[in-house]
Amino acid sequence: MKILIKQVLLQDKIVDILIKDNLISEISTTINDSEAEVFDARDLAVIPPFYNMHTHSSMTLLRGYCEDKPLFEWLNNIWKKEAELSSQDIYNGTRLAILEMIKSGTVFFADMYWHHQSIIKACQEMGIRANIGICFMNNLGKETIKENFDFAKQFSKTNNDLVNISIAPHAIYTCDAQLYKECYEFAKENNLYFHTHLSETQKEVEDSIKQYGMPPVEYLNSIGVLDNKTILAHCVHLTEKEAEIISQNKSIIAHNPCSNMKLASGVFDSRQAMKHNCIITLGTDGNSSNNSLSMIEEMKFASLLAKVHYQDSEAGNSDEVFKWATINGAKAMGINAGEICEGKEADLLFIKLNDEKMQPNYNTISNIIYSSDTKCIDSVMCNGKFLMKHGYVEGEEEIIEIAKTYK
Ligand SMILES: [Zn+2]
């Protein structure tokens, strides 16, 4: 299978790009290949798509439910509502989330939720890359915890190309040390990522100090569950020592600025994390605390939040924030993509240069972050296949019709 992309703007040059199977095989001024399917990309720019490093996809069904509450009050309400959702609901919600993600240029998401089999099914059907966190909390009970481990064991043995799983203890206020250690050891044995919420609110930090005598990152480090396959969602309230611990362990920070602002959790100190050479990636969190899965929006908020926080217009630099949303996430997840070069997997995002929000085009990346929105996206390719072509995602009408039945 070959696709020849003709006359696309890549950085500041018009080029042709040949995709062979799932790889970018050649990038050159002119390529001719009579066997390839041609994609006319005149008036389009190509950039790497987005890697959403922390979300709860099917919370899309709770978009707009229980608004304007602080995290713990919000969580208590959400948990009650979530208990009513069936695995079919989760499947429907995940498909709606994936549609929203594809339409906004995302080709990968790291998830954490219940009814993981429904989430996996939706991802596999829609062709998106995903890492599905199998969620653990003490109050699930021993039987469900065992079932989750059994499922993870079985699934990790299957040959999975685009959809993988991680072990995801929810947070330090819902999982005790024993469960964290059990989860971590299991993840290690089965070569899986480990995904948890950490240091999201000041209250979590205060409770951690009261209960364990140390803040959350120090605590997880003390029980030995941090390494380079650990995704730490939020990291809003870190000490210098904790930023250093994350850096030494090469753990992955998933920064979720919109959710942190909406739940009034605080501001992630990106300069502190950068000073310690931490790996910073970007996530949207769930649609119930954002309420959007658009990484374009997330980049803009990440940048503007940093500028306001530091009272410095050079903070939240657009090139840096773009890396958080693209190559940093891909690299952290071991995906050979996130940049457009020969030999990389063909994850591509095509932007309409004819859109009024993209002109004049002094700087494509800053136009995308500060000016564009999802309507500027023309097409999305994941691993050599179009997930969206000229604005259309297969089956989108049905997904929307089903979503309308929820309220
Ligand atoms: Zn979350």
**What is the 49 CA–ligand 1 centroid distance (Å)?**
22
- Are both 128 and 207 inside the same structural domain? yes
How far is the centre of ligand 1, averaged over its atoms, from the C-alpha of 402 (Å)? 25
Q: Evaluate whether residue 251 is within a structural domain.
A: yes
Of 25 and 68, the one with more pLDDT: 25
Question: Quick one: which of 289, 269, 290, 291 has its CA closest to 278?
Answer: 269
Domain count for the chain? 2
Write out pLDDT tens, residues 337-367. 999 999 999 999 999 999 999 999 999 999 9
Distance, in Å, from the CA atom of 30 to the CA atom of 64, rounded to the nearest integer, reads: 49
pLDDT digits (tens, 9 = 90+) for 195-236: 999 999 999 999 999 999 999 999 999 999 999 999 999 999
pLDDT at 126 over 80: yes
Residue range 18-22: mean pLDDT, rounded: 97
Q: pLDDT band at 68, cuts 50/70/90?
A: confident
Is the same domain home to 211 and 289? yes
CA of residue 297 to ligand 1 center, whole Å: 17
Residues 202 and 281 placed together within one structural domain of the fold: yes
> Residue 252 C-alpha to ligand 1 middle, in angstroms?
15
Our CA dihedral for 134, 137, 138, 144, rounded to 10 degrees, sits at -40
Distances (CA, A) of 81 to 106, 248, 285, 289, 405: 27, 39, 18, 14, 16
Is residue 302 in a domain?
yes
pLDDT tens-digit map of 256-278: 999 999 999 999 999 999 999 99
Report the percentage of the chain scoring pLDDT > 70.
100
Q: Same structural domain for residues 236 and 360?
A: no
- Domain match, 291 and 164 both: yes
* Domain, as residue range, for 356: 2-48+344-392
DSSP annotation string for 135-181: EE-GGG-HHHHHHHHHHHHHHHHS--SSEEEEEEE--TTTS-HHHHH
Mean pLDDT of 111-127: 96
Distance set, CA 140 to CA 57, 190, 223, 276, 299 (Å): 20, 22, 22, 37, 35
Query: Domain check: are 16 and 61 in the same one?
Result: no
Q: Are residues 253 and 294 in the same domain?
A: yes
Are 384 and 326 in the same domain?
no
| Tokens found for residue 128 | 């998106």
Going by pLDDT thresholds of 50, 70 and 90, the confidence category of residue 185 is: very high
Tracing tokens 């136009």 back to the chain, one arrives at 367
Residue pair 55/24 in contact (Cβ under 8 Å)? The answer is: no
The answer to whether the beta carbons of residues 270 and 243 sit under 8 Å apart is: no
For residue 47, the CA-to-ligand 1 centroid distance in Å is: 27
What separation in Å is there between the alpha carbon of 385 and the centre of ligand 1? Answer: 29
CA of residue 44 to ligand 1 center, whole Å: 34
CATH number of the domain within which 318 lies: 3.20.20.140
The alpha carbon of 132 and the centre of ligand 1 are apart by a number of angstroms equal to: 13
Within a domain: 401: no
User: What CA–CA distance (Å, rounded) separates 72 from 89?
Assistant: 24
Residue 263: burial class (beta carbons within 10 Å; 0-12, 13-18, 19+): buried
Centroid of ligand 1 to alpha carbon of 291 (angstroms): 12
80 CA to centre of ligand 1 in angstroms = 17
Integer angstrom CA distances of residue 190 from 49, 178, 187, 216, 244: 29, 18, 5, 25, 27
**What is the model's pLDDT at position 327?**
98
Cα(101) to ligand 1 centroid in Å equals: 16
Q: How many angstroms is it from 289 CA to the middle of ligand 1?
A: 9
pLDDT number for residue 69: 84
d(CA 60, CA 375): 20
Average pLDDT score over residue span 372-389: 98
Cα 335 to averaged position of ligand 1 atoms, centre (Å): 22
Residue 407 has pLDDT above 80, yes or no: no
Q: How many CA atoms lie within 13 A of 183 on its CB side?
A: 32
The domain spanning residue 21 has which CATH number? 2.30.40.10
pLDDT in tens, 29-67: 999 999 999 999 999 999 999 999 999 999 999 898 888
Give the distance (Å) from ligand 1 centre to CA of residue 234: 8
Whether 397 is in a domain gets the answer no
Rounded-to-integer distance, Cα 368 and Cα 208, Å: 39
Question: What's the CA-to-centroid distance between 233 and ligand 1, angstroms?
Answer: 7
**CA 284 – ligand 1 centroid, Å:** 8
Residues 348, 202 share a domain: no
Residues 19 and 143 placed together within one structural domain of the fold: no
> Is there a single domain that holds both residue 225 and residue 360?
no
Whether residue 253 sits in one domain with residue 162: yes
